[in-house]
Amino acid sequence: MKSWTFRVIGVAAAGVLLAGCGTGGKAATTSEAASAGGAGAIRDLNYAVVIHGNPDGSFWNVVKRGAEDAATQFRVNVEITGDVEGANQAKLIDAALAKKPTGLVVSMANPDALKASLENATSQGIPFVTINSGAEVSAEFGAIGHVGQTETVAGEGAGTELKNAGATKLICVIHEAGNIGLEQRCKGAAETFGGTVENLQVDLANPQGIQSTVKSKLLGDKSIDGVLSLNPDVAVAALAGVKDAGSSAKVGTFDINADVLKSIEAGDILFAVDQQQYLQGYLPIAMLVLYHDNLNTVGGGLPVLTGPAFITKDNVATVSDLVSKGTR
Amino acid sequence: MSAEFGSGAAAIIIFIGFSIAAPAFASREGIGNFLDPAATLGIMAVAVALLMIGGEFDLSSGVLIGSTGLVTALVTTQLNTNVWFGMLISLAFALVVGLLNGILVHRTKLPSFIITLATYFMLWGLNYAVTTGVTDQVTVSGIADYNGYDSAKAVFGSSAGGFQVSLIWWIVLTVIGIVLLTRTTAGNWIAAVGGNAAGALAMGVPVARVRIGLFMGTAFAAWLVGQLTVIRYASATVTTGIGQEFNFIIAAVIGGCLLTGGAGSVLGASIGALIFGMVQQGMPLAGLPSELFKFFLGAILLLAVLINLYLKKRAQGGKA
């Protein structure tokens, strides 16, 4: 009898030990897999992120990184797709919904195009968070929260900066026709700028074209003394156009890349509006996981703002490293 | 001949019109400025026109511009090599893409529209995946710090008095294209293959070589424009060139190329690129809303096609 009891206790103890070892080992492997990039999901929670862009712009790549990092840390699955066209984005949402995800993250540059798809999400009981654009209609559409920079507020910030730098006549360079967010930035800038603001349409895929068009505009109207770019790659080409035209116009931009950072260091670009888009990838995943586990919501119907933060000559050194890591 | 006359006359009218609307347009600065985007477009339009005369399309030519720039930048910065070495690898890459396009189109007999559409998406995906995979970013910069950049800049990225060096490349390529098409056997072959490939084959024209050569030609032009961009801006971005392929086709069509192949003009294509550049730059100079640019582009394209149609009908009427 006694020996039998001991044996049971022994086996149990060994079991506990083994279990202990097992957990330790398992934790180690998952964190290894996790650091290798999102493959370490141990919870069967699947989140779809559908953005209004190819996930290959300077900008969206950082959003993607944020979402992937959140997926790794919360050990869930995240799948990211996107298309610049509203109707195509809606189709991608429908495709994502067909897989019955735990939650959905959607950027809303063109809310009307996505309305039906998001109603589908609601009727299927799939919670969603909107990011980037679309703060105005997010709650109305039934999102549990919105994470983004209100484009108008960010534009207002940029307008103020340019005004304070002494500019009086501004061109706002739009690189993607039909993107409401870009229009709102220009409108916001016009609110606070005080002087004249004119929009200038260019093509993101053609740097020579951007440079020449900015130069043409500056040659055509010598009184223009401010240029607001809405994309870092556009900023580089636009700056070249400003220099070519022999203009002393102040240049500001939205978002950053290595070249913009260098130009800020050199004093050629006044500022970059940083909307910290890493947060727009990261926070919604965190919010959706918290909602799943604990029914938490953030913002109470008001957007959670990720910007505008400004990168200027004063703080450029501190963010450079993070930019090269792809998280800023 | 007549196609060049039509587009040439249009170019002169557009030039005069913008010069009146905005005197700065006709200044040295203004001229240099519209010649800048026209040059890169024109280099592509010459190669694309030859390809279209040969009866094919290349939808991958735009994105390949971005690819070749990325290859140059990535090879140089990641392998820590001379910039010229990066450009050489990039050239090899471009020619392989052209070779594959040509072989696939020739062997499968599928429309080149479909084959190069596939190449377009594959290159787009590779541009993005490889660049972000290697650098964690979508813009590769910093090649200005590597050996050979200064000499490369002199050849591909310099400017003098507001005129870019790309202008010289454009002129040289246009002349080569004209001579090739109008003065050589290969030129006759191109038109023959584009007009009636089966007939050309029966006449002993090396159809396969012509087709593959033409696709390698657009790939070479894409490489050249890719280098003119990556060296000038000292950085390469994954979005560069995407969607530009239609502009090349538009320039070629404005210049008199038929969508059915067999006829067209290299000089016309270059004039088409010139018109494109003038309208693109003249509008902001004249204070016209830049949002209307695409409308005018479409209107010019429509007008050019209608004039071509009229001339073609009249030519046929004359024969009958």
Separation of alpha carbons A195 and A114, rounded Å: 36
The verdict on A257 touching B (C-beta cutoff 8 Å) is yes
Same domain, A8 and A136: yes
**pLDDT tens for residues B90-105?**
999 999 999 999 999 9
The CA distance from A271 to A265, in Å, is 10
Residue with tokens 């909602």: A291
> Which residues are within 8 A (CB) of B163 and not within 5 positions of it... i.e. 6 or more apart?
B32, B35
Q: Say if A174 falls within a structural domain.
A: yes
A84 and A172 in a single domain? The answer is: no
State how far residue B154 is from chain A, nearest Cα, in angstroms. Answer: 17
Is B309 a residue whose pLDDT tops 60?
yes
* CA A142 – CA A115 distance, rounded (Å): 10
How close A298 comes to chain B (CA, Å)? 30
| Range name among A72-76, A134-138, B54-58, B182-186 with the lowest pLDDT average | A134-138
Give the helix ranges, DSSP H, for chain B.
Answer: 2-21, 28-53, 61-78, 83-108, 112-135, 149-156, 166-183, 185-195, 197-202, 207-233, 245-254, 266-285, 293-319
Contact A89, A104 (CB under 8 A): no
Q: Looking at residue A27, what is its pLDDT?
A: 37
Instruction: List B residues 248-267 in contact with A (Cβ-Cβ < 8 A).
Output: none
Identify whether A283 is part of a domain: yes
Interface test with A, best of B27, B33, B121 (most A CBs within 10 A): B33
In a domain? residue A57:
yes
Same domain, A142 and A281: yes
User: Mean pLDDT: which of A298-312, B174-188, B288-302 is highest?
Assistant: B174-188
User: Which residues constitute the domain of residue A183?
Assistant: 151-274
**A203 near B241, Cβ under 8 Å?**
no
Give domain status of residue A46, yes or no.
Answer: yes
A219/B229 CB distance under 8 A: no
Domain boundary among A226, A242, A274: A274
Question: What local confidence, expressed as pLDDT, does residue B318 receive?
Answer: 52
In the block, tokens 């109305």 appear at: A140
- What confidence score (pLDDT) does residue A30 get? 36
**Residues A188, A129 share a domain:** no
Give phi and psi for A103, each to the nearest 5: -165, 165
Peptide bond into A308 cis (omega under 30): yes
Which pLDDT score is estimated for B317?
A: 66
Q: Which of A157-171, B147-161, B294-308 has the lowest mean pLDDT?
A: B294-308
State how far the Cα of A47 lies from the Cα of A283, in Å rounded to an integer: 13
Computed over every residue of chain B, the mean pLDDT equals 92
Q: What pairs with residue A170 in β-bridges?
A: A197, A226
CATH, residue A16:
3.40.50.2300
- Check: CB of residue B63 under 8 Å from CB of residue B56: no
Exposure of A21 by Cβ count < 10 A (0-12 exposed, 13-18 middle, 19+ buried)?
A: exposed
Q: How far is Cα of residue B226 from the mean position of the Cα atoms in its chain?
A: 11
What pLDDT is stored for residue B79 in this prediction?
A: 96
Please report the pLDDT score of residue B270 as a whole number: 97
pLDDT of chain A, 328 residues: tens digit per residue: 445 555 555 555 554 444 444 333 333 333 333 333 445 678 999 999 999 987 766 788 899 999 999 999 999 999 999 988 888 999 999 999 999 999 999 999 888 899 999 999 999 999 999 998 888 899 999 999 999 988 899 999 999 999 999 999 999 999 988 788 899 999 999 999 999 999 999 999 999 999 999 999 999 999 999 999 999 999 999 999 999 999 999 999 998 888 899 999 999 999 999 989 999 999 999 999 999 999 999 988 899 999 889 999 999 998 888 877 888 8
Q: Which residues of chain B make contact with A213, given a CB cutoff of 8 A?
A: 280-281, 284, 290
Q: How far apart are CA A212 and CA A202, in angstroms?
A: 10
* A185 in reach of chain B (CB within 8 A): no
Q: Does A211 reach chain B within 8 Å, measured CB to CB? A: yes
CA neighbor of A179 nearest in space, from A57, A49, A38: A57
* One domain for residues A107 and A117: yes
Q: Let me know whether A262 and A176 are in one domain.
A: yes
* DSSP strand pairing (A46-51 vs A103-107): parallel
DSSP label at residue A150? -
**DSSP labels, B10-57:** HHHHHHHHHHHH-GGGGSHHHHHHHHHHHHHHHHHHHHHHHHHHTT--
Q: Are A268 and A288 members of one domain? A: no
Do A29 and A124 belong together in one domain? yes
Residue B4 has pLDDT above 60, yes or no: yes
Query: What's the pLDDT score for residue B137?
Result: 79
Q: How far B314 CA sits from the closest chain A CA (Å)?
A: 37
Tell me whether residues B287 and A221 touch, CB distance under 8 A.
yes
pTM passes above 0.90: no
A230 in the same domain as A283:
no
Q: Which residues of A touch B222 (CB under 8 A)?
A: none
Please give the average per-residue pLDDT across B271-282, as a whole number. Answer: 94
Task: Indicate if A110 and A168 belong to the same structural domain.
Answer: no
pLDDT of residue A24: 37
d(CA B93, CA B91): 5
Residue B284 in contact with partner chain A when CB distance is under 8 A: yes
Quick check: B128 and A54 CB within 8 A? yes
Q: How many CB pairs under 8 A join A and B?
A: 127
Number of domains in chain A: 2
Residues A143 and A187 in one domain: no
* Residue A139 is assigned to a structural domain of this protein: yes
Give the integer Cα–Cα distance in Å for B54 and A42: 56
- pLDDT of B123 reads 97
Give pLDDT, residue B130.
94
Helix, strand or coil for residue A42? coil
Tell me, yes or no, whether A315 lies in a domain.
no
Comparing CB atoms, the residue among A54, A201, A325 nearest residue B291 is A201
Residue A239 lies in a domain: yes
What the block records as the tokens of B5 is 């006359």
| A26 and A117 belong to one structural domain | yes
Residue A150: CB partners within 8 Å, gap ≥ 6? Answer: A135, A303, A305
Residue A321 lies in a domain: no
